[in-house]
Amino acid sequence: MADGHTITIEQGTGRVRAIHDGQVLADSARPLVLKETGCPPRYYLPPEDVRLDLLTPSDTQTYCPFKGQASYWSLPDAPDLVWYYPDPKADVAQIKDHLCFYTVEVTD
């Protein structure tokens, strides 16, 4: 990666849950852990482990020079709560279609 910027992705071993206002939005024992220079570790969860029925696709899109174009999902009271990369750059291809929440609980 450019200028000392690194991204590593590994298979997580803990259980990751995303909860918003007491409601479980995701519960996964198979997260991908993405570690990126200057950022906290992020947990990317398989879509099968996320309550997509509770989320609404957002029109928001952002671009990361290292990961590519991100799309977002929202709750009525929490816009752009979740993001994912439908077509990530080759270096991070493992995160394709996995969803990432800003805040999660991680347990071993």
pLDDT tens string 2-49? 578 999 999 999 999 999 999 999 999 999 999 999 999 999 999 999
53-98 per-position pLDDT tens digit: 999 999 999 999 999 999 999 999 999 999 999 999 999 999 999 9
Specify the pLDDT at position 107: 85
Residues 6+ apart with CB under 8 A from 20: 75, 78, 81
Specify the pLDDT at position 28: 97
Q: How far apart are the first and last CA of the chain?
A: 31
Domains and CATH numbers, the chain: 2-107 (2.170.150.40)
- Asked whether residue 1 carries a pLDDT value surpassing 80, the answer given is no
